[in-house]
Structure 1
Amino acid sequence: MSTNSDVTLSKVGSKRKFTGFKIDVRAYTMIGALLSIWVLFSLLHERFLSATNLSNLFLQMSATAILAIGMVLVIVAGHIDLSVGSLVGLTGGIAAMLNVWYDWPTVPVILVTVAIGAAIGFVQGWIIAYRAVPAFIVTLGGMLIFRGVLFGSTGSVTVAPLSPSLRTLGAAYVADIAGWVFGIAALLVAAYLVLRKRASRIQYGFDVSPFPLTILRIVVTGAFILGFVYIMNSYKGIPVPFIMVVVLALVFTFISKNTTFGRQIYAIGGNPEAARLSGINIKRRVLTVFILCNTLAAIAALILTARLSAATMSAGQTAELDAIAACVIGGTSLMGGAGTIVGAVIGALVMASLDNGMSLMNMESFWQYIVKGSILILAVYIDIYSRQRKKTS
């Protein structure tokens, strides 16, 4: 009898030991795909991995990444927002008109623009949450309305140039010393998070990887971070918009993983009926999600408009599709209930890398649409296929 018990315990122990080495296949697949894209374009064009081009790449991906951060919460909650691209155009146009036509200083322009984004998010979220109008319809209507308001308010003309202080929001770089401080701080935060997660797993009796492997992970992460700072400093420094992306990603990662609000959003998207029966105020949470998403769209609009030093009528066109694609590529499920902020940022970097690399290769624009569309379909297929396998296993 004791022999059978020992065998059983041995099997359980071996199973637990195996799970300690379990890795996030989707996350490593995304990183591997990104590195593969970089290697491919570096072989096809020698300038792709130059400091100048990488700096431009991180500038280009900033607006899409911020949109994707907000879109993750919406999709995780089981909804969609098709209006963020047109909202980028509208709020960017408002910021430019206030700054160029009415000589408003930078700070009031930023505050009013962000407030308008939040107000629009409140209106759309209220209609969706409290009047049960499908998000697809509400935001599709918003996409048309916002674009029309932009054309009417600006007279369909480009509004430029912005004041130098406002342009710094989208085109400035931090000094070399500040860049190294930022890199070291990022390394310390990354090390703290890894060690904290390990300590938490030990505290609750979960298996953990060997400590040397944890140290190796921190070292590799640090090498990437400090290497990034070195490359950026060899050109002009780290772009301010990218620092904003990192800060927002950290804030919303904390919100999604470490707050009651974040856990409730995942619960709503995973099983709305169970969430309702557990006492979650679904309407209020959905309203908040759309406010956050549209507020981030206004921030993305400020960055894009400042980088271009102008508000154009085409600003933000198809940006909602890029944001959705970045989320899906990054592992967010269109079925709701699953997705990460970091994954969405990586997805945005993948999309920007494809655009940047194909532009360097002077490829026709139609190829860019074909490639991005194909990758989006593949990402959704992989998500659905993996879900079906989980159900059958």
Structure 2
Amino acid sequence: MSSTRIEADILRRLPKAVLHDHLDGGLRPATVVELAETVGHTLPTTDPDELAAWYFDAANSGDLVRYIATFEHTLAVLQNREGLLRVAEEYVLDLAADGVVYGEVRYAPELNTNGGLTLGEVVETVQEGLAAGMAKAAAAGTPVQVRTLLCGMRMFDRVGEAADLAVAFRDAGVVGFDIAGAEDGFPPADHLAAFEHLRRESVPFTIHAGEAHGLPSIHQALQVCGAQRIGHGVRITEDVVDGKLGRLAGWVRDRRIALEMCPTSNLQTGAATSIAEHPITALKDLGFRVTLNTDNRLVSGTTMTREMSLLVEEAGWTVEDLRTVTVNALKSAFIPYEERKALIEDVVLPGYASAL
């Protein structure tokens, strides 16, 4: 496919929405270095640029389990109130600088309790940091709304506790739930009780599926557990042959189930082979509700602007395509309809009109 060109400054200024981004995968390298020194944690290097390169190189293994292992060092600096507050605030400011107007950040509170914080204190602290970041971004003229998804780690036994937290904090900035961690060997249905609880309490949830495992994972996430969105979902293409959709792919497309796709991350974990051939383009063209996401900005060395740039340059995407995935994300965000509608009509569409 021939490459196209959109000026870098235009791409950066385009309004963006990100639904799939992990807090503990998006720290600033310099912040990791500074926080590691305060808690006495040894890093592979204390040079921020070298550390950023180390993360990117370590994650390029083509294996999801090894990709996840890189989080040892980011989690080490997120075990106390000071670290969580700083990282949450910086997270918001980094989104705002990237042109993001709406974001959903996800993390697993159970991974942040080694320093003595309770699960509830972890959530309260992160929400405080996010609020501080949103206030600073608004004051700087780059407002961004950031909401939270709480995760349970699918290979451990605290998913039910994380679901309870999502219910408890749903009026305090938490808008949904997810399960994260190694997908293969840990099917979504293992945690069916947690998902049934969330449905009874009217808390929406997404599920990582179709990344390291195929169609059975996606089927379980949707038809057994009742997910409203799918994290990644790249392997739904296994149910598409010569443009003809199988029953599961048809269900996903026809019911407008959002696919939270993360091109660079998918290359790193081996779920895709190239940006040019990433399933996001074919699925977009087939009418699926695909969304564009970063997954882990530090680990993948990326931003929303970079993800957009790669698709423009290597897959021939246009400004109209970028607008489509941005609107798709807001249509499927876990916030009330009137808030989604206002963001689309008052922020996103005018922002893209100026670039067309």
Same fold, judged at TM 0.5 (above): no
Query: Radius of gyration: which is bigger?
Result: 1
- TM-score normalised by the shorter chain: which range applies? under 0.3
Structure with more contact order per residue of length (Cα contacts < 8 Å, sep ≥ 6): 1
TM-score by length of structure 2 reads 0.25
Judging by fraction of residues, say which structure has more helix: 1
TM-score by length of structure 1 reads 0.23
Judging by fraction of residues, say which structure has more strand: 2
